[in-house]
Chains A and B, each alone.
Chain A
Amino acid sequence: GQQVMQIPQYQHVQEGEDFTTYCNSSTTLSNIQWYKQRPGGHPVFLIQLVKSGEVKKQKRLTFQFGEAKKNSSLHITATQTTDVGTYFCAGPRGAQKLVFGQGTRLTINP
């Protein structure tokens, strides 16, 4: 079945450094969604990408959807301590199921 793989599993950076997490699907996705889960919190929707090659920005966060709609990335410029958390990508499997990647846990050294 459809799998969504995310790398790296963990990433530790110094505050101010950049961070990137990558998401790859075994099948073409209709869209890709990104969520952030703060430590002790619940996943919160960040963004949805729909079009092939789409790039969206939210302040220091840049999201990309691959041309083949099978991969995506999230890049954070100049990380801040508020960026700490686990970032999940997710792709729909039909209309009923959202398949989540395993997540990338970001920790930051202030």
Chain B
Amino acid sequence: DSGVTQTPKHLITATGQRVTLRCSPRSGDLSVYWYQQSLDQGLQFLIQYYNGEERAKGNILERFSAQQFPDLHSELNLSSLELGDSALYFCASSVQSSYNEQFFGPGTRLTVL
């Protein structure tokens, strides 16, 4: 158990819909990262937050957005969903920065039909 929690575990929805994925970081960790992993693919960095502020963006689509709340939990919002958005979405946390080891949550498997 990494100490990072993600909900829901599975999500099945239709094209055009909007979903919210939730992540609670490990206690004491200030940085939260979101990654997308498609079938048999690597980890694509989406976005990073540090202590409530957005710090870095990767290949995140304009249809996707995220935020980190004062209690440090984070949400990833995916809208106007397309079939190609079906993937595993991982949240990870670290003490401060990418120089530190990251602890990954169990992931949310999103299926868009």
Contact = CB atoms under 8 A, between A and B. Distances in A.
A100 interface: yes
B2 A44 contact: yes
Contacts of A105: 40
Contact of A98 (B41, B102, B105, B107): B102
Interface string B1-44: 01000000000000000000000000000000100000011110
Nearest to B54: A96
Interface string A80-110: 0000000010001111111111110100000
Given A97-B56, A102-B42, A42 B99 contact: no
Contacts of A95: 55, 96-99
Contacts, number: 61
A33 B43 CA distance: 14
Interface residues of A, number: 24
A39 to B, nearest CB: 11
Contact count band on B? 20 to 34
A52 interface: no
Interface of A: 30-31, 33, 35, 41-45, 48, 88, 92-103, 105
Interface of B: 2, 33, 40-43, 45, 48, 50, 55-56, 58, 90, 92, 96-99, 101-107
15 contacts: A31-B99, A33-B102, A35-B102, A43-B90, A44-B2, A44-B104, A45-B101, A88-B43, A94-B98, A97-B48, A98-B33, A100-B42, A100-B43, A100-B45, A102-B42
Given A33-B102, A98-B98, 10 more contacts: A35-B102, A42-B90, A43-B104, A45-B101, A45-B103, A92-B97, A94-B56, A96-B48, A96-B98, A97-B56
